[in-house]
Amino acid sequence: MSTPTKLRGHQAKPTRAEVKAAWGRLRNAADQGCVQANALLIALVENHPLIVPLVTR
């Protein structure tokens, strides 16, 4: 009789490989002329939020 393997819980943070792959895809899209990818790269590098919430009165 085999013992069941323990299931791992949900991972809270992405792995380093996933982050590296995501940056690569983002840079590739920016290189191909995607305006949104360029804006996101700038916002991430400068550590500024990309979407500014609307101020309501």
What is the structure's pLDDT at 1? 57
Record the tokens describing residue 41, joined without a space: 């790269």
- Give the SS3 label for residue 25: helix
What is the structure's pLDDT at 51? 62
Record the tokens describing residue 21, joined without a space: 């792959």
What is the structure's pLDDT at 11? 77
What is the structure's pLDDT at 44? 87
Tens digits of residue pLDDT in 4-57? 677 667 878 888 999 999 999 999 999 999 999 998 898 888 886 656 555 655
Backbone angles phi, psi at 31, to 5 degrees: -65, -30
What is the structure's pLDDT at 45? 86
